Amino acid sequence: MAEIISSHFYGKSLCDLFMGGASISIKAKSMNMRVIGNDIAYRSYLIGEALIKNQKEKITEEDVYSLFVPTENNHLIEQNFSPEVFTPKFAQFLDKGFANAKKRTAPKKQLLELALVKLILSTRQFGGFQVGKQDNEMIANNQERELLELASEARGKKIKNILSHPLPTLMRIKDQINSSIFDNGQVNEIYQMDAFDMLERLKRENRQVDTLYLDSPYKNSVLYSAHYRILDQILEQKLEVEIEDKTFNKADALDSFEKLFTLANSVSNKWIISLGYNPDSDGGIKGEELLAVVQKFKPAEIFYLDHIWAINNLSGKSQSRNVEYLIVTK
Ligand SMILES: C[S@@+](CC[C@H](N)C(=O)[O-])C[C@H]1O[C@@H](n2cnc3c(N)ncnc32)[C@H](O)[C@@H]1O
C-alpha cells in the first residue's frame, strides 16, 4: 500500500496530516523527504517522535531493564483495567513501566512508551480491548492449559504473551523498533494538532510542502478514540481523555473536506487523498463525490485500489465490499 501511495509523492517534503501508525511518514522519510507528521492523538504523536523526528537515539538493554525498576506510580491500570482487560500481574508491570518511561525525556520517553504500547498490543487480539475478560478469568483460576487448548493459533500466541514474563518480548520489540531508526539527513517535525489547526499554522508561517497526504478517518469507520480509548487513557495517565477526532466520521464529512481543501490550497499543490467507501454500511464517501469537491480546487484523478483489506477493519469483520481509492492532484 505504501508503495502505491509513494509512487505519487512529489518533491522534497511531505506533510502527513493524519499520521496514525506513521507508515506513510516512514516511507517518505526513507525516501529522504523532509517529513512533517501530525495527528490529533498522542498515541500517534509518540510514534512520530520515536521513529520520524528521532534520527539516531535507540533503545538499549539498560533502557528495557529500567522499565522494571520499582517506582512510585498511580496504579491507574491496576485499579481501572484489571482484571477486565489485563491480568493483575501484567497491569502492575505496565503501571511501573509507564511511570518509568514517563520520567525520561524525548525521544527516549516516546521510544519506551512505544515499546510498552507494542507489548500491550502483542497481548490483544485484533489490537482491540473489547475481548479478553474471560481469558483473564481463566488465568486467575489457573486454567491456562485449557485456555490455550481452546484458542486458535493466533489467539494462542497473544495468550502466551499475556502469560510470559515481559522481558524477552520487550527485548524483541526493542530490536524491532531500533531497526527502523535511521537518519535521513532532514529536520523532520512532529505535531499533535487538529488537522485544521495544523494547516492554519503552516499557512500563517508561510510554509509550503511539496506533497500533502490526507488519510483521515471516515463516516461509519471505527472511531479511533473509541477503539483505542484504554490505550489513550493509559498514555495520558488519566481516565478523562477527550480526543476531538469525530470531524470526518460525521455525515457532513464532505463539507469538512471542502473546508480542509480551502486551507490546503495555500500550503501545497500536490495532494494525495486516501479514502474509502463501503456500500454495505454507507460508510465513507463515494470516490466520484470527493473527486468533484477536489476538482473545485485543482485538476485531479482517481485511482481505485482493488486491494481487499483483511485486517484493516479494526473490528475484524469482513470488509470485502469496501472500495478504497486515492485521489491525486495533477
Ligand atoms: C486512517 S488513520 C491514518 C492512518 C495512517 N495513514 C497510517 O498509515 O497508519 C486516521 C488518523 O487521523 C487521526 N485524526 C482524526 N481526526 C483528526 C483531526 N481532526 N486532526 C488530526 N488528526 C486526526 C486519528 O487519530 C488517526 O490516527
Q: Are 13 and 167 in contact (CB under 8 A)?
A: no
Domain boundaries defined on the chain: 2-55+184-329, 61-178
Nearest to 36 by CA among 24, 23, 25: 25
Candidate from 8, 14, 16, 18 with most ligand 1 atoms within 8 A of CB, to mutate: 18
- Collapse the DSSP code of 237 into the 3-class scheme (helix H, G, I; strand E, B; otherwise coil) and give the result: coil
Residue nearest to atom 16 of ligand 1 (CA): 245
- 22 alpha carbon – ligand 1 mean position (Å): 9
Nearest to 111 by CA among 166, 175, 161: 175
Cα-only R_g, the chain? 21
Q: How confident is the model at residue 307 (pLDDT cuts 50, 70, 90)?
A: low
**Measured distance CA(179)–CA(247) in Å, rounded:** 35
Residue nearest to atom 23 of ligand 1 (CA): 40
Q: Are 270 and 10 in contact (CB under 8 A)?
A: yes
Give me the pLDDT at residue 310, please.
46
Helix extents (H) in the chain: 2-6, 23-30, 42-47, 61-66, 76-81, 88-102, 108-121, 133-140, 144-150, 153-163, 166-178, 195-204, 224-227, 229-236, 253-264, 287-294
Q: What percent of the chain has pLDDT over 70?
A: 95
Protein residues whose CB sits closer than 6 Å to any atom of ligand 1: 18, 20-21, 23-24, 39-41, 44, 194-195, 215-217, 224, 245, 247-248
Phi, psi values for residue 3, rounded to 5°: -65, -45
Residue nearest to atom 25 of ligand 1 (CA): 41
The answer, yes or no, to whether residue 309 has pLDDT greater than 60, is: no
Query: To 5 degrees, how large is the angle CA 222–CA 223–CA 225?
Result: 140
Candidate from 43, 117, 245 with most ligand 1 atoms within 8 A of CB, to mutate: 245
- 214 alpha carbon – ligand 1 mean position (Å): 9
Provide the β-strand partners of residue 276: 324
Nearest to 309 by CA among 288, 328, 286, 325: 325
Global pTM value: 0.93
Instruction: Measure CA 157 to chain center.
Output: 22
- 218 alpha carbon – ligand 1 mean position (Å): 10
Give me the pLDDT at residue 71, please.
97
Residues 177-213 have pLDDT tens digits of 999 999 999 999 999 999 999 999 999 999 999 999 9
Q: Are 249 and 219 in contact (CB under 8 A)?
A: yes
Across 21-44, average pLDDT: 98
* CATH code, residues 2-55+184-329: 3.40.50.150
- 195 alpha carbon – ligand 1 mean position (Å): 9
- 168 alpha carbon – ligand 1 mean position (Å): 31
The distance between the two most distant Cα atoms of the chain, rounded to a whole number of Å, is: 63
Candidate from 23, 40, 220 with most ligand 1 atoms within 8 A of CB, to mutate: 40
Query: What DSSP string runs through 116-182?
Result: HHHHHHTTSGGG-SSS-HHHHHHHHTT-HHHHHHHS-HHHHHHHHHHHS-HHHHHHHHHHHHHTT--
3-state helix, strand, coil in the chain (%, to 5): 45, 10, 40
Residues 243-271 have pLDDT tens digits of 998 898 888 899 999 999 999 999 999 99
Provide the β-strand partners of residue 16: 37, 213
Residue 195 CA, closest ligand 1 atom number = 20
Q: Are 90 and 123 in contact (CB under 8 A)?
A: yes
Grid coordinates belonging to 176 = 524491532
